[in-house]
């Protein structure tokens, strides 16, 4: 046997595998999970988890790291590099963002929305617009309170009142009250959803559709039971739903149109 040579341990370059490149999980990057065949665009990246949305609106969460393909090649997904503060050009409602603008002195006009969650959602998406226009949004605890609010408010020119009501159905008690108080300086509009939760697109919260809850059963509690969510509906709203809403594109058009209509009415 010939003596061992120092060149015996050399490896042919073709046998050395390069590790997959690292790719930042930037929004809209199209990624494939080859183990399941799921293909989706990055919608957000939180801590060590990336959320992908496919063309049907389904959202799945995966841990960052190896095991993904981009453009048909294996990659290692990593968190995007934090960027410096960037002044937005658009507000969450899609309107032009006015950087450094001070809130306008509140108008006499008001917008009432039915429920605390409704008010929080309107503030999150339209808050910038409302401050620029000087419009205050207040929660309405029930449609039955509306006649008393209108009498006390006394709508007039330059003092308009807009009201957003849940699940306003023609012929119902709520619709009769709405017709009673609607006038030249007061406008009541309704969205078709049983609860404001339904106005958030299901894909935003990672479900295919909102469950059907039988009449007579608490809708929020029924949804939580059917989806296996926490019993605390306040926590579910704040952490599972509201926290995932970023812009008006996360909401159903039927709600967007009603809120825009009320802002236009009050500021006309």
Do residue 178 and residue 251 come from a single domain? yes
Report how far Cα 84 is from the mean position of its chain's Cα atoms. 24
**For the chain, what is the domain count?**
2
**20 secondary structure, DSSP code:** P
Alpha helices per DSSP H over 134-169:
146-153
pLDDT tens figures, 132-151: 888 888 888 878 888 888 88
CATH number at residue 147: 3.40.50
Asked if residue 256 and residue 128 are part of one domain, the reply reads: yes
CB–CB of 188/195 below 8 Å? no
- Please say if the pLDDT value at position 236 is more than 80: yes
pLDDT over threshold 70, residue 194 = yes
- Given a contact cutoff of 8 angstroms between Cβ atoms, the answer to whether 26 and 80 are in contact is yes
The average pLDDT across 70-90 equals 77
Residues 123 and 170 in one domain: yes
Of the pLDDT bands very low, low, confident and very high (cuts 50, 70, 90), residue 177 is confident
- Tens digit of each residue's pLDDT (9 = 90 or more) over 154-172: 888 888 888 888 877 777 7
- How many helices (H) and strands (E) the chain has is answered by 6, 11
Angstrom distance (rounded) from CA 120 to CA 74: 42
Residues 117 and 52 both lie in one domain:
no
**What's the residue count for the chain?**
268
What is the domain extent for residue 167? Answer: 110-200+245-267
- Pair (259, 128) in one structural domain: yes
Asked, for residue 226, whether it belongs to a domain, the answer is: no
- CA separation (Å) from 182 to 12, 84, 170, 254, 264? 83, 48, 15, 20, 16
pLDDT of 234 reads: 92
- Secondary structure class of 1 (helix, strand, coil): coil
pLDDT for 218: 92
Residue 253 lies in a domain: yes
Residues 126 and 181 both lie in one domain? yes
Mean pLDDT of 35-61: 86
Residues 24 and 152 in one domain: no
Inside any domain, residue 146: yes
Last residue of one domain, picked from the residues 62, 78, 94: 78
CA neighbours within 13 Å on the CB side: how many for 249?
7
Q: State residue 2's pLDDT score.
A: 63
- Region 206-226 average pLDDT: 92
Domain presence at residue 98:
no
Q: Note whether 189 and 161 are within 8 A (CB).
A: no
According to the model, what pLDDT value does residue 4 have? 66
Residue 171 located in a structural domain:
yes
Q: Are residues 63 and 135 in the same domain?
A: no
User: Does residue 220 have a pLDDT over 90?
Assistant: yes
Residue 155 lies in a domain: yes
Are residues 71 and 120 located together in one domain of the fold?
Answer: no
pLDDT of 3 over the 80 cut: no
Same domain, 258 and 136: yes
169 shares a domain with 127: yes
Note the pLDDT of residue 121: 92
**126 within a domain of the structure (yes/no):** yes
CB 113 within 8 A of CB 258: no
Q: Is the residue at 94 inside a domain?
A: no
What are the structure tokens assigned to 36, written together? 């399941």
54 and 176 in a single domain? The answer is no
């Amino acid at each position: 046997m010939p003596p061992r040579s120092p060149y015996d341990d050399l490896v042919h370059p073709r046998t050395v595998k390069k590790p997959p490149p690292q790719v930042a999980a930037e929004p809209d990057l199209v990624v494939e999970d080859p183990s399941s065949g799921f293909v989706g665009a990055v919608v957000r990246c939180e801590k060590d988890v990336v959320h992908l949305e496919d063309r049907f609106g389904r959202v799945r969460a995966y841990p960052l790291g190896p095991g993904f393909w981009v453009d048909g090649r294996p990659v290692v997904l990593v968190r995007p590099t934090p960027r410096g503060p960037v002044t937005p050009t658009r507000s969450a409602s899609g309107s032009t963002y006015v950087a450094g603008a001070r809130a306008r002195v509140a108008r006499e006009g008001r917008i009432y929305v039915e429920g605390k969650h409704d008010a929080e959602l309107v503030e999150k998406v339209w808050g910038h617009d409302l401050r620029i226009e000087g419009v205050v949004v207040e929660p309405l605890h029930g449609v039955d309170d509306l006649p008393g609010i209108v009498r006390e408010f006394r709508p007039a020119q330059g003092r308009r009142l807009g009201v957003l009501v849940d699940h306003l159905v023609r012929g119902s008690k709520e619709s009769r009250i709405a017709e009673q108080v609607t006038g030249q300086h007061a406008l009541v509009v309704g969205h078709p959803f049983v609860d404001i939760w339904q106005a958030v697109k299901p894909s935003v919260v990672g479900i295919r559709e909102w469950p059907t809850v039988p009449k007579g059963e608490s809708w929020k509690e029924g949804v939580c039971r059917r989806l296996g969510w926490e019993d605390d509906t306040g926590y579910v709203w704040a952490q599972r739903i509201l926290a995932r809403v970023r812009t008006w594109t996360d909401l159903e058009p039927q709600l967007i149109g009603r809120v825009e209509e009320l802002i236009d009415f009050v500021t006309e």
